[in-house]
């Protein structure tokens, strides 16, 4: 049986966001044990021109919810980017999980050829659904999720591949 667009999207986002939430729990425990202000972790970045941990988590959630919505041909909900604590970032992940878990296979399967137009300022790009998922949505999602993991690992969290993959 071929892999469906639903199977290649929703369960992947659900599992990885769940793992990211568990990593954030470890980040909170680390901050408490080391007496580090969690805000320091949230503001940490790997390089001066990179986004910080909080923004990486926000973008991970955004890429997951927008990908599912675009593949289903619906508008994704907008979230304010105002999370200032690990608990608030976890709530954003929970809200995203609740949203993407509403999608049924019938809404996303068959979206391989659906035209999806991405707009960034004056730039726009139109992709077929499968190309969008495989070459834009999933790579961006994993980039931001991995970067969040890398920031926390760099800060000293005792996490590894098993934490990321689950």
pLDDT digit string (tens) for the chain, length 166 residues: 588 999 999 999 999 999 999 999 999 999 999 999 999 999 999 999 999 999 999 999 999 999 999 999 999 999 999 999 999 999 999 999 999 999 999 999 999 999 999 998 999 999 999 999 999 999 999 999 999 999 999 999 999 999 999 9
C-alpha closest to that of 4 among 149, 122, 103, 136: 103
CATH topology for the 10-165 domain: 1.20.120
3-state class (DSSP) for residue 102: coil
Neighbouring C-beta atoms of residue 147, cutoff 10 Å: 21
Tokens of 16: 């990885």
C-alpha closest to that of 148 among 86, 91, 100, 87: 86
Tell me if the pTM is above 0.85.
Answer: yes
The answer to whether the beta carbons of residues 129 and 112 sit under 8 Å apart is yes
């Amino acid at each position: 049986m071929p892999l469906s667009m639903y199977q290649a999207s929703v369960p992947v986002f659900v599992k990885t966001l769940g793992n990211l939430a568990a990593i954030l729990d470890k980040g909170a425990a680390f901050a408490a044990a080391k007496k580090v202000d969690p805000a320091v972790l949230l503001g940490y970045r790997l390089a001066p021109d990179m986004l910080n941990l909080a923004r990486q988590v926000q973008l991970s959630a955004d890429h997951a919810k927008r990908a599912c919505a675009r593949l289903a041909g619906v508008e994704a909900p907008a979230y304010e980017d105002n999370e200032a604590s690990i608990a608030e970032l976890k709530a954003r992940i929970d809200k995203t999980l609740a949203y993407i878990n509403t999608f049924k296979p019938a809404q996303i399967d068959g979206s391989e050829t659906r035209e999806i137009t991405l707009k960034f300022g004056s730039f726009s790009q139109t992709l077929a659904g499968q190309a969008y998922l495989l070459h834009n949505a999933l790579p961006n999602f994993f980039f931001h999720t991995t970067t969040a993991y890398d920031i926390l690992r760099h800060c000293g969290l005792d996490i590894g591949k098993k934490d990321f993959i689950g």
